[in-house]
Structure 1
Amino acid sequence: MNHLLSPHDWSYPVPIAYGPGRLSEIGKHCVALRMTNPLIVTDKGSRDLPFIAQTQSSLEHQGLRSRVFSNISPNPRDHEIASAKATFREGHHDGVIAMGGGSGMDGGKATCLTANNDIDLWRFNYDAPVVDISTGNAFPPLVCIPTTSGTGAETESTAMITDTQRGMKLCVWHPALKPSLALLDPKITLGLPPHLTAWTGIDALIHAIEAYCVPDFHPQCDGTALEAIKLITRWLPIAVADPDNLEARGGMQVGSCLGGIAFLKGLGVVHAISHMVGADYDTHHGLTNAVALPAVMRFNAPMLTEKLPALTAALGLADSEFDSFYQALCALLDELDIPRSLADLGVPLSAAPALAKKAHLDAAAATNARPASVGDIERILEEAITYGR
């Protein structure tokens, strides 16, 4: 039996419905969650794609009303979340379907955080004290549907939103908000162009690598990360070369989801840098991660000795030396036609000091495999801008 081509229901860490064609079930799931009028939140680029119409058709078939809010940028901004909240209230919606890549789902999750209360968005900052939510202001039910295989954001409430006043991407969340369902349908991703398949897929791989390298004992996340690495390195090149390969698309959907679960343990400086570059230069998050990865891995190398045997085994390598691990990553980036430096993405060398200061404040930097000062991050950025890999 080909497991990636058949339906499966999982309960960890939230209810997950996996399988080709399962988007058609979204109406039934929303009825079970007692929604009558969900708001579909997605990004600007996804608004007119077939899966939005398919979602609304399934909802309508079950007698549910819906509306689409799509004013979400590739790097979602705080004022966009305020507009989505206003739309939720004006339309008397009672649930959120967060649909898209990272930006669409982040927009939907942030909308869900604020929809039923008047609490300022930034009080939900991951690093701030947890906000008390009264019973009368409970979060609406949330369904997450990834349309790429990269973000892995479908099983948690965490969302990366740009603070437009500070020019920083910040993580917002609340421990009481959990997706009521994550729906993984690899058919949705068949139309994703090869370059976006590569960029989002590398994002998923980096989630798993950075999470595994976090210097903490978390066997659940570690095991999940290693399985994600195996799946992604096996199926990503196939999904890019053969975009209609449904089995490869399924392997990537599962691998991406596992990578997202793994990074509950933490991430690292790759993401800290990418968040701030994305906020300032509006670059694609997965692509920025991919370009920053080699410079960060070179910095982290002294702290990876104990991690390398499992990492290299997951990559299918014959030995556990750092050079083999590093060269395998660079070869994959080359195969996927990833640009070689941040300069290729329009980031000037003069930006390194300011970006380093902001990246050092990012929550992901605190769990990096090797402690990194502002000066360390500035030097990593200088390498990533001028040399890359």
Structure 2
Amino acid sequence: MSLLDPQDWSFPVPIAYGPGRLKEIAGMCRDAGMARPLVVTDRGSAGLPFLADLMRFLSEGGLHAALYSEISPNPRDDEIAGGKTLYREGGHDGIIAIGGGSGMDGGKAIALTATNDIDLWAFEFEQSPPDMSAHARFPPLITIPTTAGTGAETESTAMITDTVKGMKWCVWHADLKPALALLDPEITLGLPPSLTAWTGADAMVHAIEAYSVPGFHPLCDGLALEGLRLVAHWLPVAVAEPGNLEARGGMLAGSCLAGVAFMKGLGLVHAISHMVGAEYDTQHGLTNAVLLPAVLRFNAPDIADKVPVMAQAMGLKDTGFDAFHAHICGLLDQIGIPKTLADIGVPADCAPRIAAKAIQDSAAGTNPRALTVEDIVPVIEEAVTKGR
């Protein structure tokens, strides 16, 4: 299969892949039952060419769309409330969530709340999900990733910052599924090398953490390994050659696979990163990338059987932990990832506070090595001061 050919996949949700397919969006919206979609994106994406293209394609297709772009890099509960209000006041009948993880998370969280009066935090992942039988259906949802990293396009899960508690929580509902995920590599061509690196490293972390989660889940494991293979091969190319459309396609596909895989769970990288992002507003993929080497060292005794398989997926001849870890560190160096959390503005004295929050994150519960707050503190301190 050529990464330049259009493809339609039906698993785990309908997925339309291929360069230039954004121009089909009006028909895709109609197929999903939308005539007045609300387009949700993050502030950083609002002025970019793909947003203007999207709005033009919708208008030319006879759809009446509005744009909500008040979503932060780490989406906040008050921003979700603002989007819900706009959805209702505008008489919208569906949501297009476009952007990186923040834009898509914002759109998905608005979709959770747009047609009901249930509190956002009632949808928190660890709680029993609300009974929706007495409420209107969730609006149809189309997701369009503009970075190859977050893998957020095939599920309803969204990471939202609780502005009262200063913590990030995952919200979702099993009844909210994207009607379509649109993967168009052309959209990602304008992504600068730094964001290509940060979001691409995020995809790599998703694959590694998902595969490392204990338990028998061959479906997710297979997706994680193929996602890791694609990302390990194409990420350095996409960073070095931003206009390489094949590399962009490989990264989008790999990111999507890794995003599906982490329905199995994630681990300590994400548990820490979510809380660092909530407090210091750091870019999520960048934070994950900086944390990965320290967390791998901590988890090493409990992923001994997983490392050789991941090393093989990355094309390594030496499949021992040291070679695997060194290769990842070298790849992070190659794509320009800073070495420590201190380099991205995170102070060392935050470790006890962040650790106490991280242990409450759902990703901490699926880390391959059992965790206590006391375990997490030195991992954070190492990531702040030593890194890789």
Q: Same fold by TM (over 0.5)?
A: yes
Q: Distance in 1 between matches of 2:201 and 2:319?
A: 21
Q: Is the CA contact 1:31–1:62 (under 8 Å) kept in the aligned structure 2?
A: no
Counterparts of 1:56-75 in structure 2, within 5 Å, are 56-75=55-74
Contact 2:37 2:65 in 1 (8 A): yes
Match of 1:235 in 2: 234
Contact 2:221 2:261 (C-alpha < 8 Å) held by counterparts: yes
CA contact (8 A) 1:224 1:258 kept: yes
CA distance in structure 2 between the aligned counterparts of 1:166 and 1:247, rounded to whole angstroms: 43
Distance in 2 (CA, whole Å) between partners of 1:213 and 1:12 is 23
Instruction: Report the Cα distance in structure 2 between the residues aligned to 1:244 and 1:308, rounded to whole angstroms.
Output: 33
- Aligned match of 1:174: 173
Residue in 1 that maps onto 2:53: 54
Q: CA deviation at 1:134?
A: 2.5
Give the 3 Å change call, closer, same or farther, for CA 288–90 of structure 1 in structure 2.
same
Tell me the SS of whatever aligns to 2:33: coil
In 1: Cα distance, 2:66 partner to 2:23 partner:
17
Counterpart for residue 22 of structure 2:
23
Q: What is the distance in 1 between the residues matched to 2:291 and 2:170?
A: 20
Q: Which residue of 1 aligns with 2:321?
A: 322
**Partner in structure 2 of residue 378 of structure 1:** 377
2-structure distance, mates of 1:267, 1:33: 31
What percentage of residue pairs aligned between the two structures are identical?
63
CA contact (8 A) 1:27 1:55 kept: no
Contact 2:116–2:135 under 8 Å retained in 1: no
Q: 1:66 corresponds to which letter in structure 2?
A: A
The 5 Å alignment of 1:1-389 reads: 3-134=2-133, 136-389=135-388
Amino acid aligned to 2:363: A
Mapped contact 2:308–2:321 kept (Cα < 8 A): no
Distance 2:175 2:147 in 1: 26
Q: CA deviation at 1:53?
A: 1.5
CA deviation after TM superposition for structure 1 residue 135, in Å: 5.7
What amino acid maps onto 2:373 in structure 1? V
1:62 Cα offset (Å): 2.0
For the aligned residues, what is the CA RMSD? 0.7
Distance in 1 between residues matched to 2:86 and 2:220, nearest whole Å: 37
- Distance in structure 2 (CA, Å) of the matches to 1:168 and 1:107: 16
3-state SS of paired residue (2:214): coil
Report the more deviating stretch, 127-136 or 177-186: 127-136
The 3-state SS of whatever aligns with 1:118 is coil
1:159 CA displacement: 0.1
* 1:205 aligned partner, one-letter code: M
Q: Could you list the structure 1 runs, at least 4 aligned residues long, displaced by more than 3 angstroms after superposition.
A: none
2: CA distance, partners of 1:254 / 1:75: 24
> Shift of the alpha carbon at 1:15?
0.0
Distance across 2 between alignment mates of 1:344 and 1:202? 17
- Report the Cα distance in structure 2 between the residues aligned to 1:96 and 1:282, rounded to whole angstroms: 26
In the alignment, residue 356 of structure 1 is paired with which amino acid? A
Helix, strand or coil at the partner of 1:133: coil
Paired residue secondary structure (1:361): coil
Q: Which amino acid aligns with 1:75?
A: N
Q: Output the CA distance in 2 between the equivalents of 1:56 and 1:65.
A: 9
Q: Deviations over 1:340-375 (max 9, x none)?
A: 111111111111000000000000010001111111
Deviation at 1:198, TM superposition (A): 0.2
Number of matched pairs? 388
Distance 2:123 2:129 in 1: 7
User: Take 1:32 and 1:304, find their aligned partners in 2: how far apart are those partners?
Assistant: 44
Tell me the distance in 2 between the aligned counterparts of 1:256 and 1:21: 19
1:136 Cα deviation from its structure 2 partner: 4.5
Structure 2 unmatched runs, 5+: none
Distance 2:320 2:278 in 1: 35
Give the drift of 1:319. Answer: 2.1
Instruction: Kindly provide the CA deviation profile for residues 225-267 of structure 1, in whole angstroms up to 9, marking residues without a partner as x.
Output: 0000100010000000000000000000000000100000000
Q: Deviations over 1:312-365 (max 9, x none)?
A: 100111122100110001000110111111111111111100000000000001
CA displacement at 1:51 relative to structure 2: 1.1
Which ranges in structure 1 are unaligned for 5 or more consecutive residues?
none
Secondary structure of 2:3's match? helix
**AA in 2 matched with 1:322:** F
Task: Provide the rounded CA distance (Å) in 2 between the counterparts of 1:180 and 1:34.
Answer: 10
CA distance in structure 2 between the partners assigned to 1:315 and 1:32 by the alignment: 39
